[in-house]
Structures are given as structure tokens and as C-alpha cells.
A and B are shown apart, each in its own frame.
Chain A
Amino acid sequence: MTVHSVELADTAVGPARRARGWNASLVVGGLIVGLLIVMALLSFVWTPHDPTLVNAAARLQQPSAEYWFGTDKFGRDVFSQIMVGSQTALFVGIVAVGVAALVGVPLGIVGGMGSRWVGETLMRFNDLLLAFPALLLAIMFAAVYGGSTLVAMVAIGIASIPNFARLVRSGTLQVMRTEYVLAARAAGRHPFGIGLRHVLPNVSGLVIVQMSVGFAIAVLAEAALSFLGFGTPPPTPTWGRMLQASQELLWEAPRLAVFPGVAIAVAVLGFNMLGDGLRDYLDPKLEDRR
């Protein structure tokens, strides 16, 4: 540490204090995610139309007061389908991120607290898992068991484990070098107690940020899976399958691709921004680094 940087650190106290608090990413990301959740919950009790109702008389309608986003080639209301599609996106995200965090966080803590050998082995295992992206796993699962929501959730969840494990391990390594952990170890505290009492609370910020980012990844992967037909089977509408169906109609009705496309992009953007915002909120020093 140079004197130069110490002096700068002193001067940086003001702006850093200011950075902690609400920031644009946090607000916009939070709003988008909030809206998404409200939409998904609302769609359980109300949609403008039955999203699965086939109506030959109302095929390929332009957007109107009746059909806000128009209708698809079976006369189904696109807006209602988008609303219901958010259920799948969020549901798959919740389970996948939950699986990834439940497995990845303990793995990362063990990897960071254990011997060098344990840590290295874990990291090699992580690298190996990175060679199996969610989509590849899902294709393997689907080949054996057929496509389903469960396949999507499990595949995305497993593929997301390395992200959590890697992050938590590096966070744990940092915490393990701090004086209070050294003191706790010197005092003969059980490693399990240290992990629970010192490490977990200190890496929880990282985990929360990664959950938000992981959600974005899950939404992307779910969309790709249902686009390929390996996700939630029909008739439940999903954004990915809507896109897939839109492809043959790109000449007549490109809007059929635009609406679900925008829904995917906005949802992913929302979760990514929320993640960025949370990162800045929890650690203002990293403001410039995202």
C-alpha cells in the first residue's frame, strides 16, 4: 500500500459514502423485477383472455383495445400468453437458482475453508462442470426423460452451481484471512461454527448478488430450452415457445417475435441491473468495476 493510495483512500471517503444508497441500477432493476413478479402473480387470477383459447375467427389480429398485443395464428391472445409465460420464467428461475445456491454455497465455503487440496479439487470440478452448459445438460436429460419444466429447472440449476461455488470460495478465502477469523481459529472454535458464524454472513452479499444475476441466466436458458422444445410442454405458454412459433410467420407478423423477445430481454435486463445495483449497494468500493 503506497502513501499515495492511502491519501486517496482518505479523500475517497466522501464519494464512497454517497454511493451507498439507492442507485439507478437498483431502482430500475428492482422496478422491472417487481413488475414481473406482479404480472406473474396477477396471471394466476386474471388475464385479459384465456391464453390457451383457440379462436379461428380472431387469427393474427393486429394489436387493438381488445387484443393489446394482437393474436397468434390460432387466435390466442398474445398479451395473456406473455403474462402466463412469466410464471414459467420465474418458477424455473426460482428453483434453478435455489438448487444452484443450496449446492454451490456450501461447496464454495468448504472449498475455501478446507485444505489447499480440497479447494483445488473443487475448482477443477467446477471447471469441468463449466464444459456442460445448461442447454447441453437439458438436451441430455430431455433425450432420456423427455422435455419438461423439471428438466429445465434441474439442468439450469446444476449448470449454475459453478458460478456460486467459485464466487463463494473466493469470498471465503478472503474472510479466512481476516483477523477475527484467525482469532476464532486460534480460540479453537470448530470450523463448522466459524463457517456458520463468520463466513456465511460475510459472503451472503456476494450470494445475493449472484442470485440476481443467476436469475437472469436462468431466464435466458429457460427461453432457449423452450424455444427448442425441451422445456415446459404445451399448452402452457412460454416465451421461448412463442418465439419458436413466431418463426414461420416472420413475414406476415414479425410482432409475434417482438413481444416475447422484448419480454425475455426486459426480464433479463431487470435481473442483471438489480444484481449490479445490489453489488454497488452492498459494496460501494466496487462502484467502477462491474
Chain B
Amino acid sequence: MLLRLLRRTAVFLASLFVSSIAVFTFMAVLPGDPARVTLGVNASDSAVQQLRDEFGLDRPLVSQYASWVHGLVTFRLGDSYVSNAAIGPQIADRFQVTLWLVVTGMVIAVLIAVPVGTVMAIRHRRLSGVLLSGLSQVGVAVPAFLAGILLITVFAVRLRWLPANGWTPPVVDPGMFLKQLVLPAFSLGIVQGAVLTRYVRSAVLDVLREDYLRTARAKGLRPGQALVRHGLRNAAIPVVTMLALQLATLLIGAVVVERVFVIPGLGSLLLDSVANRDLIMIQDVVMVLVVAVLLVNFLVDLLYIAIDPRLRAGAS
């Protein structure tokens, strides 16, 4: 078990290292001259040189990389090329907003997917199962931003139940915060839920075929009891894997949904930075997103060890 933990940790750290190199190479090396990219072709050479000096862009790449990573680890990311505002606090602020969206979206997705997927599996030979299956197929085909636009059309424009866009932090006005959270969170949650539903279905179908479920029934458990007591924990393993893999999709889905609902999250920050050609900000935001995804995958690996006793046994 300790060995497994150490190996997972090593893989996690190596992934962080490799992805940071990749992001750095892409954003800081490939553009050739980030200062020129930032200021545009029409900027004067002296202005470009000034920016280079200010941000140490003439230093060797290794030293630039080292100070960037140092900044990331200590979360002192310096100031933006463009706005001169401190990057670290901005990212932290925006990340909170995105986290609300993503977590609520994921909770909605799970709340939809687990019951619906289970019913689909139990009734997969019956009409109700087939209909639900078709419905989830349609859900999978709708991107989150499209779901957002459609939800706005129905609930904000037609019914006028909820605001079409905007964001209020929960500490300022909890009521408004919730109202404004509903539509974007459902945009993410419904779509993600549809995808997840199909995985829950196939995981439960697999479990229903397992010998130990037959053993459970041979003991005198009814089919439903057997599934709940013996099946769902085992079905959870592939579903949790999927959930973790979906997190990347969900985070990036949030980027687009933030644009639809005019929410000042990490996605908006990223898109604004692209519009402003703020390369260093983009580099940092991308890295934060990547770290978040890798971290969650790492945590899920640890979660497996908790769910599945076979993995706790050390070397398999």
C-alpha cells in the first residue's frame, strides 16, 4: 500500500513537471518573443525592449522557467504585462467563482446520473429503459454552452423566472447568488449528467452480471437490496474514474459557460487574456487549470485505494 501511494505520488509529481514544461515551452518559448506578441507588430522596438527588461525575458530560458515555477509554488505570480495588476490574487478570486460552478454542476450531474443510470440498467430490456437511454443520448449531443443558451431562452426570456446572466458573490447577496447560479450550474450539470448516466448504466449492468450478486440473492436478499448492498460500491469504481476524467471537460466547459452567462470566473479571465494577448496570464491560468485536473485525478487514485481493498494490499 505504501509502495502504491509512493508510486502514485511520483507519477503525480512527474505529471506536474512534464505539463509545466509543456505549458512553458508553448507559451514562453514557441512564440519567439513574448514581448513582441504582447505589444503587437506596431509597437516600437524600445517599448518592446522595455517590456523585456521589466519581465526578465532576456534571461536564459532555464532561469525564466525556474522563477515561473517558483512563483507558481509560492503563488507569487508577479504582475500582468498588460494591466500591471497582481496575477495571483486575480486568479484566486476568479478560481473561486469557477469552483462554485464546477462543483455545483458536478453535484447536479451525479444526482441525475446515479438514479437514472441505475434505472436504465435495471430496465434495459424494457421500454422505459430504452426511452431513458435515448434521452441520455440526446443529452450527450448538446454542448454545455448550447444548453445554457436554451435554458436562458426558456427560463429567463420566456418565463422570466431567473436572471439571464451575471454573478453576485454569496457573501454579498446569497439569494441573488443562488438565482444566478442555477442556470449556469444546470447547463454544466445536465450535459455532464447525461454523459455520466451512460457510464453508470454500463457499470451497473456489469455489476448485475457478477457472481457475487447472485451469491447475495442466494442468501435471501431481494434483487434491489442485493444491488444496493453489494453492487453499487463496486459499480462506483468505474464511475468515479469517469467522474475524474470528466472534471477536465467540466472545467473547460465552465470556461465557455462563463462566457454565455457573463460570469467573472477563470474562463472569462482566460478569454480576456487571450483577447489582450496577455501571455503570462494565459500561461498561469492554463497551468492552474491543468494542476487542478491532475490534482483531482491524483486524489481519485487515493480514493480508489479507500474503496477497493484489493488495491490496499500493496503490490498487486
Contact = CB atoms under 8 A, between A and B. Distances in A.
Asked whether any CB of A lies within 8 Å of a CB of B in the complex, the reply is yes
Given A131-B19, A254-B153, A140 B26 contact: yes
A224 B143 contact: yes
B157 A251 contact: yes
A124 interface: yes
A144 B31 contact: yes
A274 to B, nearest CB: 12
A135 interface: yes
A130 interface: yes
Given A133-B248, A250-B157, A127 B297 contact: yes
B205 interface: yes
A206 B230 CA distance: 32
Given A140-B286, A250-B157, A254-B157, A130 B245 contact: yes
Interface residues of A, number: 43
Contacts of B23: 140
B157 A272 contact: no
Interface residues on B, range: 35 or more
A106 interface: no
Most central of B143, B152, B279 by chain A CB within 10 Å: B143
A246 interface: yes
Interface string B275-309: 00101001000100110011001000000000000
A246 B149 contact: yes
Given A139-B270, A144-B37, A289-B202, A266 B15 contact: no
A290 interface: yes
B286 A290 contact: no
B141 A128 contact: no
Most central of A2, A127, A144 by chain B CB within 10 Å: A144
Contact of A273 (B137, B252, B255, B260): B137
Contacts of A22: none
A268 B140 contact: yes
B182 interface: no
A243 interface: yes
Interface of A: 2, 124, 127-128, 130-133, 135-136, 139-140, 142-144, 216, 220, 223-224, 227-228, 230, 243, 246-247, 250-251, 254, 257-258, 261, 264-269, 272-273, 276, 288-290
